[in-house]
Structure 1
Amino acid sequence: MIELRSIGVNFSGRDILKEVSITFHPGEIIGLVAPNGTGKSTLMNVIMNYLQPNSGKVRFNNELEYTTKKNEVKIHKLLSMMPDQSDLYNHLSGKQHLKLYSSMWDSNPQLIENTIAALGMESYVNKKTGTYSLGMRQRLCFAMQIVSDTQIMLMDEVMNGLDPTQVEIISQILVKKREEGKTIIIASHLLENLEKYANRIFFVKNGNLDSTEDIHRNLGVNGNMVIRVPEGTPELKQKLSVAFPELDIQLLANSVILIEFPKNESGTLENISAFLNENHEHQTFSVGKMTLSDLYSKYYH
């Protein structure tokens, strides 16, 4: 368990984290989502004690804090952070890296072979990492943390550079580790797969952690449906706003027009569909539930 007590981090007069207090429990996966430079990596560095907060403290398992070097050693036996690709030694093989991490945390050596098989690394794990592609290096970094087998695992942008198949495989491994009682914190700006395995997701903004449940409630979007109109323009957005002034209509940065409406109002969907067909005969659109990506766009819009 990790307990953050009033964590504050300030750089050059700017609050990166503002009195953050929250508890992360065993057996759950936490997603930290935000644009780059908004504090999610800073929070993980505080948890690792790579960065000293200006205020507050971190407490582990109701007893351990970073008060002495001895305590820090004890904490880092419980805690690991996924290595960055720049941490790899190009002259060593992938398997040598895995053995190194396993020995550092004194984990079960059998985990090495199990993890290699689970990630489909057999064909290249004995080659030097200097020959690896981006995706291969990313899988190795993930595998290194898995073989450490720590109680708490921190991962920053774990899915970077991976194809959809590998994303799904890693997602399944994460769920398995959660079932083993691990506490896993994943910082990411990739949202497509996060909802599948995360128990709680927080957006980081203005130094605060806001849960998606609270954001749904505060924005009044619980249970709402959305129409997504690709290749939207300011002119089309303006026409829709005039025709449907009662609806929340946004033109997002990716040129998608997002039209939000309550799911039980089928008449609204019919009216918007008719409007688009009448006024823009070649305009395609899709209808569905509000996704995490939609919520992200509304929150940071």
Structure 2
Amino acid sequence: MIELKNIGVQFSGRDILKDVSVMFNPGEIIGLVAPNGTGKSTLMNVIMNYINPNNGKVILNHELEYTNKKNEVKIHQLVSMMPDQSDLYNQISGKEHLKIYSSMWNSNRKLIESTIKELGMKSYIKKNTGTYSLGMRQRLCFAMQIVSDTQVMLMDEVMNGLDPTHVELISQILVKKKSEGKTVIVASHLLENLEKYADRIFFMKNGELILVNAVSPGFDEREITTVRVTDLTDKIKEKFSKEFPERNVRTLSNGVTLIDVREYDSGRLGKVVEFLKENQIKEFSIGKEALTDLYSMYYQER
């Protein structure tokens, strides 16, 4: 368990983080979503003590804080951050990198071979990393954190440069880490992917951490709240509003139109579907708002 208590970070008189208080639990995947420059990386750097906050504190397992060097060493045995590709040494092999990380965190050496196999790295893991493609380097960075086997794992844009197959593979490994009781904090721009596996998702804006469920109450539930329509013309929208005047209809900057059907029974919902079909609208889905919709609403329309 890791707790942030009243964390504040200011640069040049600007609040990057403003009185952030939150607790991240064991067996939980946390998603952080925000445009670049809004504080995601700063938050992770504060957790690692790479940046000292102007106020507030980080508390691990109810007792450990960054009050001295001895405590910092203890915390860093339990908390790790996925390395960046620029941290790799081009003149040594991927496997040597994994051995270094396993030694640094004194983890089970068997994790090295199992991680290589799980990520499909066997064909190139003994080659110098200077020969790796961007996707191979990204997988190695992820593998390095996995073999560290820490209680808390921080990952900033873990899916960068990966093809859909490896995005899905890494997603499955993250879920596995969650089942092992790890706390996994992931900053990502791949919203559809993040929505599939994250237990809680936070937006960041104006230095604050906002739970997505506070932006859209009931977002984490599975009930039908929305009919999501692609490319609904103004003419059809006007026609729809006359037939269903009580409905809230909202078109986002990404071109998607959301029709609020929270209180509709199956009969009334069926009439909405019938209307769309009669007007030759084929691209629509029934369910809830997607994370991409909330992102558009929160960042591009506020």
Fold match (TM-score > 0.5): yes
Contact 1:249-1:260 within 8 A present in 2 as well: yes
1:293 corresponds to: 292
- Name the stretch that deviates more: 28-37 or 194-203: 194-203
Change (3 A) 1:124 1:233: farther
The CA distance in 2 between the partners of 1:226 and 1:89, in whole Å, is: 49
Question: How big is the shift at 1:194?
Answer: 2.0
2:232 maps to 1:228: no
The CA distance in 1 between the partners of 2:235 and 2:98, in whole Å, is: 55
Structure 1 unaligned segments of length 5 or more: list them. none
2:54 corresponds to: 54
Task: Output the amino acid matched with 1:299.
Answer: Y
TM-score, structure 1 normalization: 0.89
2:137 corresponds to: 137
- Name the stretch that deviates more: 236-245 or 251-260: 236-245
2:99 corresponds to: 99
2:191 corresponds to: 191
Change (3 A) 1:286 1:3: same
Task: Output the amino acid matched with 1:27.
Answer: G
What number of residue pairs does the alignment pair up?
A: 298
Sequence identity, in percent?
66
Q: C-alpha offsets along residues 241-268 of structure 1, whole Å, 9 cap, x if unaligned?
A: 5664433322222222222222634455
The CA distance in 2 between the partners of 1:35 and 1:227, in whole Å, is: 26
- Name the stretch that deviates more: 229-238 or 68-77: 229-238
Change (3 A) 1:234 1:125: farther
The CA distance in 2 between the partners of 1:288 and 1:120, in whole Å, is: 37
- Name the stretch that deviates more: 52-61 or 171-180: 171-180
The CA distance in 1 between the partners of 2:108 and 2:293, in whole Å, is: 42
Question: How big is the shift at 1:56?
Answer: 0.6
- Matched residue SS, 2:204: strand
Question: How big is the shift at 1:224?
Answer: 4.2
- Name the stretch that deviates more: 155-164 or 263-272: 263-272
The CA distance in 1 between the partners of 2:89 and 2:267, in whole Å, is: 61
- Matched residue SS, 2:77: helix
Task: Output the amino acid matched with 1:89.
Answer: Y
Alignment of 1:90-239 (within 5 A): 90-217=90-217, 223-232=223-232
Contact 2:254-2:296 within 8 A present in 1 as well: no
2:38 maps to 1:35: no
- Matched residue SS, 1:262: coil
TM-score, structure 2 normalization: 0.88
Contact 2:3-2:58 within 8 A present in 1 as well: yes
Among 273, 281, 284, the alignment partner of 2:282 is 284
Change (3 A) 1:139 1:108: same
Q: C-alpha offsets along residues 108-145 of structure 1, whole Å, 9 cap, x if unaligned?
A: 11110000001111111112222222221111110000
Contact 2:27-2:181 within 8 A present in 1 as well: yes
- Matched residue SS, 1:217: coil
Question: How big is the shift at 1:28?
Answer: 1.5
Structure 2 unaligned segments of length 5 or more: list them. none
- Name the stretch that deviates more: 145-154 or 264-273: 264-273
The CA distance in 2 between the partners of 1:101 and 1:257, in whole Å, is: 48
The CA distance in 2 between the partners of 1:179 and 1:262, in whole Å, is: 33
Contact 2:229-2:285 within 8 A present in 1 as well: no
2:78 maps to 1:78: yes
The CA distance in 2 between the partners of 1:259 and 1:27, in whole Å, is: 35
Question: How big is the shift at 1:234?
Answer: 5.9
Contact 1:9-1:16 within 8 A present in 2 as well: yes
Question: How big is the shift at 1:37?
Answer: 1.7
Contact 1:233-1:251 within 8 A present in 2 as well: no
Question: How big is the shift at 1:164?
Answer: 2.3
Change (3 A) 1:145 1:18: same
